[in-house]
Amino acid sequence: MEYRKLKHQEEDEEAAVGGDAIESLRGKAHSLNTVATLGGGTAVDPSKWKRKSIVTLALTVLTSSQAILIVWSKRAGKYEYSVTTANFMVETLKCALSVAALSRIWRNEGVTEDNRLSTTVDEVIVYPIPAALYLVKNLLQYYIFAYVDAPGYQILKNLNIISTGVLYRIILKKKLSEIQWAAFILLCVGCTTAQLNSNSDHVLQTPFQGWVMAIVMALLSGFAGVYTEAIIKKRPSRNINVQNFWLYVFGMVFNAIAILVQDFDAVMNKGFFHGYSIITVLMILNHALSGIAVSMVMKYADNIVKVYSTSVAMLLTAVVSVFLFGFNLSLAFFLGSVVVSVAVYLHSAGKLR
């Protein structure tokens, strides 16, 4: 009897220990699920989160240096090289990088339905629209610097948050919160404040032509970004490099037409690479890598992340321009930058609600 009593006591203790262990494991699992879950119960894949963070950080650095390199590439206030040939080289380099990435995938994984270049007309026919929009937007990107400096450009570039948000609502049917609408108004106030000029008869540093170009660029950038994201995410399993390839092919075609229309005589008489410098080459490389990073953000995150990267780049551009171009960091610019940053934060917070 005593033996049985002791034996039952040991079994009860083992069961208690086992139960505690199970409860402990359940608690740890619950804790891990809580950490790996965002509001609404959406699980976060650590590898995807890491990839998203790296791409967003890279896009921020590339975007902040983009305006600086464009301004730096000018000589005596003008571009000695043809901006249409520079744009063509950007699209060509992006296309080559996409093919190189695909070649590596083909060697490692073989050719599949999702990574083959051959496709249908219905899939390809949608790419000329964003390619044409990006062509005009990219050309305006050079000419707007006749009216604004690098930090001012980064400020006005944030207007595409408004166009992107509104087009998200119209095209992708995504609902915008009241906080996001308020953030749009605050963003306009911040952009205007940053452009206030106390040392001149003109109220704003940027003239009317610069504002018009900035607004047109914002609309083109917003529409092209949202449209491209809709195309890319329409077929999620399709390899991003294949989708990029077709977009960049049409980009090359449209830029080649721009060369023929705008700079044919200059290219024929002086040469395709006339006026190119090390800064010009770095600028082209920057634009190409920025385009790849943007498409990666669209594939693995969303277009709003691209806009946030641009907003952070605004601050980096201003700091670098102080040392590189002697930019005067005025109180109005500082206050405007703060207001724009608050607007971006509110827009982000409104999106998560």
* Residue in this structure with the two tokens 């609600």, named with its chain if needed: 353
- Is it the case that residue 153 has pLDDT exceeding 70? yes
pTM: 0.71
Sorting pLDDT into bands at 50, 70 and 90, what band is 272?
Answer: very high
* Residue in this structure with the two tokens 């109220």, named with its chain if needed: 203
Say whether 294 sits in a helix, a strand or coil: helix
Of all residues in the chain, what percent carry a pLDDT higher than 70? 74
- A 10 A CB-CB count for 29 gives 10
Predicted pLDDT at 306: 60
Report yes or no: 52 and 305 within 8 Å, Cβ to Cβ.
yes
Q: Which residue has the higher pLDDT, 299 or 182?
A: 182
| Residues ≥6 apart with Cβ < 8 Å to 19 | none
Task: Give the rounded distance of the alpha carbon of 139 from its chain centre.
Answer: 18
* Residue in this structure with the two tokens 């490389």, named with its chain if needed: 285
Q: Which residue has the higher pLDDT, 55 or 145?
A: 145
Report yes or no: 79 and 73 within 8 Å, Cβ to Cβ.
yes
Predicted pLDDT at 131: 92
Say whether 270 sits in a helix, a strand or coil: helix
pLDDT mean across residues, the chain: 77
Say whether 16 sits in a helix, a strand or coil: helix
Predicted pLDDT at 28: 40
Which range in 43-52, 259-268, 284-293 is most confidently predicted, on average pLDDT? 259-268
Predicted pLDDT at 63: 79
Predicted pLDDT at 348: 62
Q: Which residue has the higher pLDDT, 301 or 313?
A: 313
Tell me 144's DSSP state.
G
- H runs (alpha helix) in 75-177: 83-109, 121-124, 128-143, 150-157, 160-171
Report yes or no: 308 and 155 within 8 Å, Cβ to Cβ.
no
Predicted pLDDT at 84: 94
Predicted pLDDT at 89: 95
**What value, to the nearest 5°, has the Cα angle with vertex 329 and ends 327 and 334?**
145
Q: How many residues does the chain have?
A: 353
- Is it the case that residue 329 has pLDDT exceeding 80? no
- Is it the case that residue 37 has pLDDT exceeding 50? no
